[in-house]
Amino acid sequence: MSTPQPRANVAEIPPYVAGKPPTIRPGMTSYKLSSNENPYPPLPGVIEAVQAGVGAMNRYPDMGSSALYAALAETFGVPADHLSVATGSVGLIYQLVQAFCDPGDEVVFAWRSFEAYPIAVTAAAATAVKVPVLPDGRHDLDAMAAAVTDRTKVVLVCTPNNPTGPAVTQAELDALLARVPSHVLVVVDEAYLEFVRMDDAVDGIATYRRHDNVVLTRTFSKAYGLAGIRVGYAVAPAPIAAALRALSLPFGVSTIAQAAAIASLERRDELLERVDALVAERDRVVAGLRDVGWDVPDAQGNFVWFGLGERTRDFASAADEAGIVVRPFVGEGARVSIGESEANDRLISVAAVFAG
Ligand SMILES: *Cc1c(COP(=O)(O)O)cnc(C)c1O
């Protein structure tokens, strides 16, 4: 008897391995450092804005997210029709691949990079072209440009790169854009943009203004601490933003998500001060790791990468015993988020045992 069959690509979609919650240990506070979340709780004004929205949950959200578009346009100095919001920037990445790829078209991205890329690409029946990152965890942009073929429709640049940490420079991005044909969409995934502190950092807004094929994807999940409420946005030339909006899930961004995002933009200075504190912690952790003999890649996000190879599983178990949950990529390494300072101290102690 025949049964309904999903398209062949559906069976090929790799699973998303989410960061585990911490193991509960009696008498010990455990910390989750496995999902690059922001350790700070939501700001009071943000909680109140969400609470006000909760009372209206019998109503559909504003489908046009008009107040959120207005707030984003004002904050970033871009026209509202150059924006598209979605349920997290993961939603935008799905929509971009769907909008620009026919089955079999190629999407070039670095690997290892963000876990959702091969999922989104396979879900659209497109073909993932993975270009290995350099030994220091940076994108190999020369190799990525060389990997572009007649079938390539999208190039994804993850900067800073999750999980390895380094960011691309403006000069490197400009060189890539000069080599990629103008009909190929270049997505700059700026999920961790607010954490970047380096010379010649990418200016995403200036870059998209200069190129008709550049889209920036950004999120409220990391620096703004709204991972649980699901909201992100893209900045792109109007035709690309329109394609994204056409594909968006109707009413996807809930009333409370819109309210939380707007309240966060209103409190951006306060949130960015927290980012400064996290960056200071990150730099303290990286210095501490280097002191105990670790050569970790440049960390421009809110996480650190340990290239542990075969020792990854042991490292994850040792961390778990110390009450911190990390994100292992078995056989490759572990990504550890910057969290509460106590958690970060424990990380340095565990890592010291694995140094060298
Ligand atoms: C976390 C992350 C995102 C976005 O996550 P959302 O919560 O869906 O906004 C996008 N790209 C990268 C590289 C990430 O690490």
pLDDT tens digits for range 143-152? 999 999 999 9
* Mean pLDDT (whole number) for 193-198: 98
Nearest to 39 by CA among 267, 282, 213, 208: 282
pLDDT given at position 1: 82
Ligand 1 site-directed mutation target among 16, 189, 202, 264, most atoms within 8 Å of CB: 189
How do the domains of the chain map onto residue ranges? 17-36+269-354, 44-266
pLDDT at 356 over 80: no
- Using pLDDT thresholds of 50, 70 and 90, give the confidence band for residue 294: very high
CATH class, domain 17-36+269-354, is alpha beta
* Mean pLDDT (whole number) for 84-91: 97
CB neighbour list of residue 271: distance below 8 Å, 6 or more residues apart: 43, 223, 224, 225, 264
pLDDT at 213 over 90: yes
| Mean of per-residue pLDDT scores for the chain | 97
Atom of ligand 1 nearest to the CA of 231: 9
**Total-model pTM:** 0.97
Atom of ligand 1 nearest to the CA of 114: 13
pLDDT at 22 over 90: no
Atom of ligand 1 nearest to the CA of 93: 10
pLDDT given at position 256: 97
DSSP 244: H
For residues 35 and 227, the answer to whether their CB atoms sit within 8 Å is yes
The alpha carbon dihedral of 291, 31, 165, 173 has a sign of negative
44-266: CATH number: 3.40.640.10
pLDDT at 97 over 90: yes
- Using pLDDT thresholds of 50, 70 and 90, give the confidence band for residue 134: very high
pLDDT given at position 18: 83
* Angstrom distance (rounded) from CA 167 to CA 201: 8
pLDDT tens for residues 38-62? 999 999 999 999 999 999 999 999 9
pLDDT given at position 182: 98
pLDDT given at position 37: 97
* 319 CA distance to ligand 1 middle (Å): 24
pLDDT given at position 19: 81
* Angstrom distance (rounded) from CA 22 to CA 110: 29
Q: How many Cβ atoms from other residues are within 10 Å of residue 241's Cβ? A: 21
Atom of ligand 1 nearest to the CA of 92: 8
DSSP 41: P
Strands 232-235 vs 214-219: parallel, antiparallel or unpaired = antiparallel
Give the pocket of ligand 1 (CB within 6 Å): 36, 88-90, 114, 158, 162, 189, 191, 219, 221-222, 227, 232
∠ CA(102), CA(93), CA(129), 5° rounding?
A: 60
* 219 CA distance to ligand 1 middle (Å): 7
Ligand 1 site-directed mutation target among 36, 87, 90, 249, most atoms within 8 Å of CB: 90
The alpha carbon dihedral of 250, 255, 256, 261 has a sign of positive
Instruction: Determine the straight-line distance between the first and last CA of the chain, rounded to whole angstroms.
Output: 59
For residues 188 and 159, the answer to whether their CB atoms sit within 8 Å is yes
Backbone region of residue 200 per phi and psi (left: phi > 0; alpha: psi in -120 to 50; beta: other values):
left
* 41 CA distance to ligand 1 middle (Å): 19
Atom of ligand 1 nearest to the CA of 219: 9
* 220 CA distance to ligand 1 middle (Å): 9
pLDDT given at position 254: 97
pLDDT tens for residues 145-180? 999 999 999 999 999 999 999 999 999 999 999 999
* Angstrom distance (rounded) from CA 172 to CA 81: 28
Which protein residue's CA is at the shortest distance from atom 15 of ligand 1? 162
Ligand 1 site-directed mutation target among 162, 168, 233, most atoms within 8 Å of CB: 162
Q: Strands, DSSP E only, in 10-151?
A: 31-32, 83-86, 106-111, 127-132
Percent of the chain exceeding pLDDT 70 equals 100
Which protein residue's CA is at the shortest distance from atom 6 of ligand 1? 88
Ligand 1 site-directed mutation target among 112, 219, 253, most atoms within 8 Å of CB: 219
Nearest to 234 by CA among 112, 65, 121: 65
pLDDT given at position 315: 98
